[in-house]
Every structure is written in structure tokens, then in C-alpha cells.
Structure 1
Amino acid sequence: MVHPEGAAAAAGDQQYGQAPPDYSYGLEDSGFSDAAIRRGFIRKVYLTLMIQLLATVGIICAFLYWDALWQWTRANNWFSYTMMAVVVVLILAMSCCDNLRRQVPLNFIALGLFTIAEGLMLGSVVVYFNAEAVLWAVGATALVSLSLSLFAVQTKWDFTRANGSLWVFAWTLFSFALLCAILRSQYLYILYACLGTLLFSLYLVFDTQLILGGKHRKYEVSPEEYVFAALNLYLDIVLMFFLLLQVIGLQSS
């Protein structure tokens, strides 16, 4: 069986290659000083995220339960790498071009194309796992994401100050992924997937607090960056799903 650790590592690079969003320091200069603007921003972000996740789950189910598509994908490995390249190009374009992620309707078109490409890439990976493992990974990802989002809202711990520490952790994990690819040990794969899940769990809390802002947060994301904020949350959840699927799939194999 082909393990998707390479795809997960490459997808993990998407998180690290993104341009940082515009930060605001303090509420006096923040676009969120108006509570109505802040609530509207949060609604836009989470509505966009929900649509992305529903579309992604639908694409994954098509790859799992449509036999002709399942067989074609397993017989054509180039499809996974092509979708991976498309995803990376779209992320770089949205990260580097302010107009592309801020100007309507270009931002929604770009985000829609990215979501479809990401869903196709995920679908091309899940065909190497049995349907039960994929569904368990989907359920675990949903539970963990909801729990961490509620924690990020309620806690007064400011994870936005930990940006540097998360960056170091991310590159350390990337180095560990290279070691796993060389040694090809199943136990190292499982350890790598567990550490990756922890990393992107922390990133999910971090990005959620950037979106919510408030007096207990040092940094906030600009209200104009709702598409980029939704993209960050989506990537955190997708990469967490990748790694949880790897843990569940390897333990059941």
C-alpha cells in the first residue's frame, strides 16, 4: 500500500509557505473596535469555512463510493501529484496577491478553485484506505476541531503570542518527516502523525484567536482578510484530517 506521508508532508508545507495576514496591535487601531464589524467578519469566515468543508466531504465520498472513480484513481498515480501542484500554486497566488484574496468576486473564485483542487487531492489519497478508517478520521477531525474552537473562544491564554514557537515546531516536524521517509518505519510514521496532529491543533487555536481578536489577544487579523482567514482554518482542519487518517490507517493495517 502506498502511504500518504509524502503527500501530508507536502501539504504541510502549504501552511508554512503562506504570507502572514495583516495584524493589528491593540484595540484602539483595530478594525474590530466596532463590534458589528467584528461579528460580520466572524460570520463570513465561518460560513465560508462550512461551505468549503461540506464540498470537501462530498468530493471525498465520491472517491470512496463511486467504484469507477476509485479504480481509475488507484490506476493513475499522476492525478494525486497534479492536484498537489495545483493546490500549491493556488495557495502561493492567494498568499502573494492581495487583490486576488481581497477583491470580490476574484477571491471567492480563487477560494472555490482551491477547495475543489484540495478535495480532489484528498480524494486521491483516501482511495488507499478503507472507507471505515476514512469515516473514523472525518469524525475525529470534526470532534477535535469543534473542541479546539470552543477552547480558543473561552480561554484567556493568548496563543497568538506563540507564533515563533509554532514556526520552530513546524520546521522541526518537517525535518522529522524527512527522517521518516528515509527510515520507513511504521512506528515512526505513527509518531510523526501524532506530532503533526498536535502541531495543527495548536495552529487551529492560534488561527481561531487571530480571527476572534479581543482584549486578551496581542494580534488580530484584518477584517478585509476573511477569505485568507477561512483558508487558514480550512488548511489546519484538512492537514489534521490527513494526519489522523494516517494514524488510524496505519494502526488498522
Structure 2
Amino acid sequence: MKKGKQVCDEHEPPSYQEATAGYGEMEAQFAWDDKNIRRTFIRKVYAILMVQLLVTVAIVALFSFCAPVRFYIQTHPSLYMASYLVFFATYIALSCCGDLRRQFPWNIILLVLFTLSMAFMMGFVSSFYNTKSVILCLGITSLVCLSVTIFSFQTKIDITSCQGVLFSLCMVMLLCAITFSIVVPFGYVPWLHALYAVLGAIVFTLFLAFDTQLLLGNKRHTISPEEYVFATLSLYLDIIYLFSFLLQIVGGGRE
């Protein structure tokens, strides 16, 4: 009887505890692997972003401080239009063509062209402002970006779930831009321009927090680690637009 009972026990299916004994270790390993992938993704994005910002600051400084270069680009606005066309083409390619922005080395080539064109445009715009104003705006932008990044890393508030609020603010900005374009031909209104610039700075500060939390991947919505080019593009544009709106707020024209 005992021998028959032992044979029956050998053919019985395993219990739930026995069948799932290794699942906890597997889940822990997968979670650890995901965290490592996410950390590598974040480091890659910020490394590329730092290079982009250094190139942009260098070009803005060259166009603002070097008088011959400043005079040349101000007297050749066609260069600005050419850089805008390159910016628009590369932005469409990187934003709309998902396969292209994941394909090396085309994604890096397009990102380099995009960065150089945007940096040239910002340098052209900055050349018409007072040098002290440009330096002040660079400093304010750096402090705002640092504060928003620290806040996004530490806060428990899920900004990625506030897509409706950001969309509404974008619609308000669009209506303000339309109103501004209608009013300006009849006369420049300083307070209306200042209001629009303040609204733009607030909106893109929120977008910077939104895109940072998408990058971190610990909230409701996340961005795939494969999309490091798109993540870098989003953060870079947020910072550039923030700088441009700050420049409109506190910047003074050259005498």
C-alpha cells in the first residue's frame, strides 16, 4: 500500500506554491533589468541634451558677442530662412517618421542638423537683444530647468496625467497668437506681447516637467527607451522655447 501511494504521489500535479516558487525571483530580475534599461536611457538622453545645449549656447554667444558675425547675420536674413527650412524638415522627419528616428546613423545625422539649425535661429534672434539680457535669460533658463528637473524627479504629482490641461493652455496660446497677429498691424501693444510671452514661458515650463516625467517612466504615461532621440528632441525644444519667451519678457533691444 505504501509503495502504491508513493507512485500515485509522484504522478500528482505540483501545488500552486511549488509551481510559482520561482516567479518572485523572475519578477524581481525583470524589474531590476527594467530599472537598468531606464537608467541607461536617461543617461543617454541627458548626455545628448547637454551636447545640444552647449552647441546652442556657443552659437548664441558667438552671434551676441562677436560684432562682425552679428553684423553679418543681421544683414543676411536669408540665412535665417534657410536654417528655418532645415529646422522644419528635420523636425518633421524626426517627429513623424518613427522608423527613421530609430535607425542609426540617420537619427543622429538628422538630430545634428536639427540642433545646428535651431541654434543658428536662436543666435540670430539673440543678436538683436542686449547682451546683458541674453546672459540674464540664459541664467534664468538654467535655474528654471534645474528646478523643474529636481521637482520632476522628487515629486509624487503625476504631471503626465494632466494632458488635458496642457492642451487647453496650448489652445489659449494659439488664440492669443491669432489675436496678436490681428492687433499688431494696427499698432504695437507692449502689454499684450508681454502677456503672451509670460503665458508661453509658463506653458513650456509645464511641458518641461511633463516630458521629464515621461523620460523617468515612473508615472501613468512613459516613453519607450528606444525613443531616446524623440525624448531628447522634446526636452531640447522645451528649453529653447522657454529661453525665447524669457528673452521676450526681460530682453532689451540693442541700441
TM superposition score normalised by structure 1: 0.83
Aligned-partner Cα distance in 1 for 2:51–2:230: 15
Mean alpha-carbon deviation: is it higher for 73-82 or for 151-160?
Answer: 73-82
**Number of aligned residue pairs:** 224
What does 1:196-235 correspond to in 2, within 5 Å?
Answer: 196-214=200-218, 217-235=219-237
- Given the alignment, which residue of 183, 194, 218 partners 1:190? 194
Distance 1:202 1:106 in 2: 30
Which amino acid is 1:144 matched to? V
What amino acid sits opposite 2:233 in the alignment?
L
> What is the DSSP-based 3-state SS (H/G/I as helix, E as strand, rest coil) of the residue aligned with 2:226?
helix
Q: For each residue in 1:195-221, what CA deviation from the matched residue of structure 2 results, as whole angstroms up to 9, or x when unmatched?
A: 10000000000000000011xx11110
Measured in 2, the distance between the counterparts of 1:233 and 1:174 equals 21
Q: CA RMSD for the aligned pairs?
A: 2.2
Moved more, 100-109 or 236-245: 100-109
One-letter identity of the residue aligned with 2:159: F
2: CA distance, partners of 1:227 / 1:194: 29
Deviation at 1:149, TM superposition (A): 0.6
For 1:76 and 1:61, locate their aligned partners in 2 and report how far apart those are by CA, in whole Å. 18
2:137 is the counterpart of 1:163: no
Percent of aligned pairs with the same residue?
Answer: 41
Aligned-partner Cα distance in 2 for 1:97–1:87: 15
1:238 to 237, 240, 249: 240
**Aligned in 2, Cα 1:32/1:208: closer, same or farther, shift over 3 Å?**
farther
Alpha carbons of structure 1 residues 133 and 32: separation in structure 2 relative to 1, 3 Å: farther
Unmatched 5+ stretches in structure 1: 1-26
Separation in structure 2 between the aligned mates of residue 31 and residue 135 of structure 1, nearest angstrom: 44
Listed one character per residue, the Cα deviations across residues 81-103 of structure 1 (whole Å, up to 9, x for unaligned) are 32222211111011111222111
Higher RCO structure (Cα 8 Å, ≥6 apart):
1
Distance 1:109 1:199 in 2: 30
